[in-house]
């Protein structure tokens, strides 16, 4: 359990997968939570679950403080408004987890749907920028904060069909490092978490609801879980305040790299 100042943690994409698991972990530490996603009913169900699992503290058990926001991170005006209108007890956000995102499609570039490409850029890149730009000034002014971006192994390792998804995550990786350069001198931290194969709704979304295709991705292998990622996020956030994890790459033990591909005639 946390002492004096429990963190206020703002998590985008908290309705599923990593985001929900990260919310559960921080709730268990006594953090105040701001949970955002488009599927509001999912957020309500998660908040109800977290309120049922009371946190034991010196003053007895209490329900965690949670603020829910129905938010599409692609909507710049909506992001600004949601952050400007945070209730006072949630407004001094100390940890922003830019988690909302995902992949759409696995087609080669010459066949991919340009709408999918735009949606991936709008969510994984621009949505992350909107949230970051809205919350970073307060963090710098208060000299306390942590931006934790969810990148991917796809940022550095190419694979067929990763095209724009991997490029978005490469943006996230470099933007994370560049942020550190800009805010050097403040105590605000920036971390890029780069997971490999993890079983969430990621593949169901990528394959547009095709459960069979999604299940096949994880068949015969023990993938990372959302809880594994939540563990790494909380670890980075709870390190002593002079320690900054720049990037952290995780994979299942049974996943590695495929090497160069050569097409011989
Ligand atoms: P899920 O599909 O389970 O979760 C994605 C979350 O993002 C959902 O909560 C969804 O909420 C939210 N989201 C998507 N679009 C928007 C939007 N426009 N506005 C607000 N929220 C949005 O997948 P994961 O938990 O796996 O994905 C989380 C992050 O992890 C993503 O950035 C993904 O790229 C990354 N990642 C995933 C890996 C994996 O193998 N699973 C590996 C590496 C990185 P809602 O639909 O309710 O808005
Ligand atoms: C998700 C992992 O390998 O499907 O970022 O791109 S991968």
**Is there a domain that residue 181 lies in?**
yes
| 3 state DSSP class of 234 | helix
Taking the alpha carbons at both ends of the chain, their separation in whole angstroms is 62
CATH number of the structural domain spanning residue 39: 3.40.50.720
Contact 187, 142 (CB under 8 A): no
Closest ligand 1 atom number to CA of residue 201: 3
Res 61: pLDDT: 65
Q: Is 101 in the pocket of ligand 1 (CB under 6 A)?
A: yes
170 part of a folded domain: yes
Q: Which of 148, 152, 117 is nearest to 132 (CA)?
A: 148
- Residue 13 domain-assigned (yes or no): yes
In a domain, 264, yes or no: no
Q: Is the pLDDT of residue 20 over 50?
A: yes
Q: Is 130 in the pocket of ligand 1 (CB under 6 A)?
A: no
Which among 169, 201, 223, 221 has a CA at the least distance from the CA of 19?
201
Looking at the annotation, which residues are catalytic? 165
pLDDT of residue 2: 45
Within-domain flag for 251: no
> In this predicted structure, what is the pLDDT of residue 53?
81
Answer yes or no: are the C-beta atoms of 22 and 230 closer than 8 Å. yes
For residue 41, the SS3 value is helix
Expressed as residue numbers, the domain containing 117 is: 8-244
How many CA atoms within 13 Å lie on the side-chain side of 15?
A: 17
- The verdict on residue 2 lying in a domain is no
Q: What is the mean pLDDT of residues 125-145?
A: 98
- At a CB cut-off of 8 Å and minimum separation 6, what does 210 contact? 204
pLDDT confidence tier of residue 32, bands split at 50, 70 and 90: very high
Taking the C-alpha atoms of residue 110 and residue 206, their distance in angstroms, rounded to an integer, is 18
**What does the pLDDT read at residue 5?**
76
The answer as to whether 249 is a domain residue is: no
pLDDT digits over 206-237, tens only?
999 999 999 999 999 999 999 999 999 999 99
Task: Please report whether residue 168 resides in a domain.
Answer: yes
Predicted ipTM > 0.95: yes
pLDDT of residue 254 exceeding 70: yes
Give this prediction's pTM.
Answer: 0.96
| Residue 64 pLDDT class (50, 70, 90 cuts) | confident
Please state, in angstroms and as integers, the Cα–Cα distance from residue 58 to each residue in 1, 2, 3, following that order.
9, 11, 10
Please write the tens of the pLDDT for every residue from 155-202: 999 999 999 999 999 999 999 999 999 999 999 999 999 999 999 999
Ligand 2 residue neighbourhood (C-beta within 6 Å): 152-154, 162, 196-197
Ligand with minimal distance to 258 CA: 2
Domain count, the chain: 1
């Amino acid at each position: 359990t946390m002492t004096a100042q429990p963190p206020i943690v703002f998590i985008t994409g908290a309705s599923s997968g990593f985001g929900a698991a990260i919310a559960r972990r921080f709730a268990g530490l006594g953090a105040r939570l701001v949970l955002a996603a488009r599927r509001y009913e999912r957020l309500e169900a998660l908040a109800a679950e977290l309120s049922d699992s009371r946190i034991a503290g010196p003053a007895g058990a209490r329900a965690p403080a949670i603020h829910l926001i129905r938010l599409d991170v692609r909507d710049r005006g909506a992001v600004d408004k949601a952050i400007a209108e945070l209730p006072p007890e949630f407004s001094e956000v100390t940890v922003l987890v830019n988690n909302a995102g995902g992949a759409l499609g696995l087609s080669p570039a010459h066949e991919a749907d340009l709408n999918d490409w735009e949606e991936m850029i709008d969510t994984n890149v621009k949505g992350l920028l909107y949230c970051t730009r809205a919350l970073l000034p307060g963090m710098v002014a208060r000299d306390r904060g942590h931006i934790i971006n969810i990148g991917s192994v796809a940022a550095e390792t190419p694979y067929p069909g990763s095209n724009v998804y991997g490029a978005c995550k490469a943006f996230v990786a470099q933007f994370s490092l560049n942020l550190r350069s800009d805010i050097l001198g403040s105590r605000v931290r920036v971390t890029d978490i780069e997971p490999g194969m993890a079983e969430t709704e990621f593949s169901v979304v990528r394959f547009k609801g095709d459960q069979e295709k999604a299940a096949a991705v994880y068949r015969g292998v023990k993938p990372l879980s959302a809880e594994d990622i939540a563990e790494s996020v909380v670890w980075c956030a709870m390190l002593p305040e002079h320690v900054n994890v720049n990037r952290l790459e995780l994979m299942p033990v049974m996943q590695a790299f495929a090497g160069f591909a050569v097409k011989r005639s």
